[in-house]
Structure 1
Amino acid sequence: MEKSDNSQTGPQISVVVPFYNEEANVEELYRRLKKVLDKLKRTYELIFIDDGSTDKTPEILQKIYEKDELVKIIRLRKNFGQTAALQAGFDFAQGEIIISMDGDLQHDPEDIPLFLAKMNEGYDVVSGWRKKRVDNLFLRRIPSLVANRIMKWLSGVEIHDFGTTFKAYKKEVIKKVHLYGELHRFIPALTSRTGVKITEIPIKNVVRQRGKSKYGLSRVRRVFFDLITVKFIISFIDRPLQFFGLIGVIFGSIGFAIAATLTIGFYFFGWSIRENLGNLILSVFLMMMGLQLVMTGLLAEILSRVYFATHKVKIYSVEKILSREKPPAEFWN
């Protein structure tokens, strides 16, 4: 059994890997991670999350845990999705630097030292950049290119590849991020609102050799709505009234201008209300819509305050934890 030299203050590095039906890749990825991390001469932990796998992934992870005390296993009750699995791993991780990556061997553990070297330059988040992608052109590369350019424009974060899971974070940065939906791919954008230093490094993009890909065109629709969500979170999550209120004022002002024009025309130029009934209805509709949007903004403002005071609801449910150490207190909060 591997002996841990982690100090009481916790490991220096945590590697978080979610798995879903990856029985063909688990052992190989584990061996390659051990080979790379053992060379670093730094304390570390491996956190493997079984996201409700229905193949032999749980059994393989169990065997790995039994022979290596640096491995911690989190088994979720069902398949909650990659975002929830990563959130569980981030909540559990204790390393000063937390690295996330996929479990399908498309991320090369040999790139981990490159992330650490960049973190040593003072960055808070280092994102991988699949500069030379080998994915399917129409199913993966083109949708990804469009989404990345939109996200770069919306967030102002100067990186090329938001979508890859292969990233490194300072503990104090990622612990403050609360994920839901499928927002894991946009963590750099979510953290940018707090002023953290973000950069990227080129990484290898390896063709999947074993197992079945979990991605397809069905993800495009979800990514589109996630882009809107991320933009709202970055710019308006703590001041939603400015978003809804601005739109409401615009609609209300247009409606008021139409109504004012009709009023002046009626009293001073003899316009017929009957002939302008459509415009009158439009003006009333726009003013009511504007009022409703302002009220929505006020309600969202209140909900935003409640969110920041009470956002402790987990987006995952743990069935079992395999760890020789007590989980961090915040994992249960």
Structure 2
Amino acid sequence: MTAPEPDVSIVVPIYNEFDNLPELVERIDAAMRMQPLSYELIAVDDGSTDGSAQRLRELAATRPWLRAVCLVRNYGQSSALQAGFDRVRGRYVVTLDADLQNEPGDIPLLLERLETDPSVDMISGWRKNRQDKALSRRLPSVLANRLISRVTQVQLHDYGCALKAYRRPIIERIRLYGELHRFIPSLARDAGARIAEVPVRHHARTRGVSKYGIDRTFRVILDLIFMVFFMRFRQRPLHAFGGLGLWLATPGMLILAWLLVQKLLGADIGGRPLLFAGVLLVLMGMQFIAVGLVGELLTRIYYESGGGHQYYAHEYGALAQALTTPSSDGQAQAPSAPARSTVLP
């Protein structure tokens, strides 16, 4: 059987939210009935151990617009979101958490902005009046938001708000691994998204247990290091590793050159610690440069084999429309272009 494609796909990752699921589904349904767009709800259970998967299947049995996706084990929030993204069919994609701290009634607000403002590709929610009372949640969030905004140059007040809305082509351009769900706005901007931020409501958790703690701050820092490399050097790894290698090898070579002069003048340099430091710096520098060269080769193989897109672009005008053909994802794409190109009149 085939079902007509909805206008909106709502993706909700779920982990041990047994008590919240019935109210969550009903509140999303009530909110979506208040606006004209058709919708589907893709609820992804991430290997829950409290019976959430069974309850989700029961809810889906009586609701044709609800798709229950049950992962075989707990993979993490990023993988759960990606499982939902792989199944979306709507023109717009909305995400929110299952703990009912996000307000489903705000979904039409985000969709209306996407419908009426063609200059925006992604709407990110801003929990302006957060109801989390625990300092272990609020303080790391504030620090992480400032740090991520500063490093990625995507200025948002609230990276951690799960309530977001996207145009579907943006979702199709990004892939989530590890715990990169925290950096979706940065990944979306890298894929060409124009991002806006709007205040949304936030509620205190009334059922279930929070899955976040102070230890998340350290994971954010590690993921941020990866994001900096990914956004700046993924197409030129030699600049990252080779640059670091030159910074190490250059002073090492200068040290060895100076010691060589000393040796020629008759000085004994065999037991000097400076000799070992110079050799170590040169060897470390050459290793980093070698890693950069290997990275460059892997990058070339990846892109030239069709594994990814080097860039995204918009084309305008009648000639562009005449020279392009529809791609499998519904966008217009030039047959000879190495990356997706959206044609706009």
CA deviation vs aligned residue, 1:76-125 (integer Å, no higher than 9, x gap): 10111111110000000111110011001010011112211332312111
Shift of 1:301: 2.2
Q: Kindly, what percent of the aligned residue pairs are identical?
A: 40
Shift of 1:211: 0.9
Q: Give the partner amino acid of 1:160.
A: H
Shift of 1:158: 1.3
Contact 2:170–2:191 (CA under 8 A) maintained in structure 1? no
Contact 2:12–2:42 (CA under 8 A) maintained in structure 1? yes
Would you say 1:99 and 2:115 are equivalent positions? no
Match of residue 18, structure 2, among 23, 29, 34: 23
1:1-333 equivalence runs, <5 A: 8=4, 10-120=5-115, 121=117, 122-267=119-264, 271-274=267-270, 277-307=272-302, 309=305
Please give the alpha-carbon distance, in whole angstroms, between the structure 2 residues aligned to 1:217 and 1:207. Answer: 18
Distance 1:7 1:53, change over 3 A: closer
Unaligned runs of 5+ in 1: 1-5, 313-328
Unaligned runs of 5+ in 2: 309-327, 330-345
Please give the alpha-carbon distance, in whole angstroms, between the structure 2 residues aligned to 1:251 and 1:116. Answer: 51
Please give the alpha-carbon distance, in whole angstroms, between the structure 2 residues aligned to 1:114 and 1:262. Answer: 70
Contact 1:15–1:47 (CA under 8 A) maintained in structure 2? yes
Please give the alpha-carbon distance, in whole angstroms, between the structure 2 residues aligned to 1:237 and 1:273. Answer: 42
Shift of 1:306: 4.8
Shift of 1:262: 2.2
Please give the alpha-carbon distance, in whole angstroms, between the structure 2 residues aligned to 1:184 and 1:311. Answer: 22
CA RMSD of aligned residues (A): 2.1
Shift of 1:134: 2.0
Q: Counterpart of 2:33 in 1: which secondary structure?
A: helix
Shift of 1:252: 0.7
Please give the alpha-carbon distance, in whole angstroms, between the structure 1 residues aligned to 2:86 and 2:280. Answer: 48
Q: Give the partner amino acid of 1:145.
A: V
Contact 1:162–1:185 (CA under 8 A) maintained in structure 2? yes
TM-score normalised by length of structure 2: 0.83
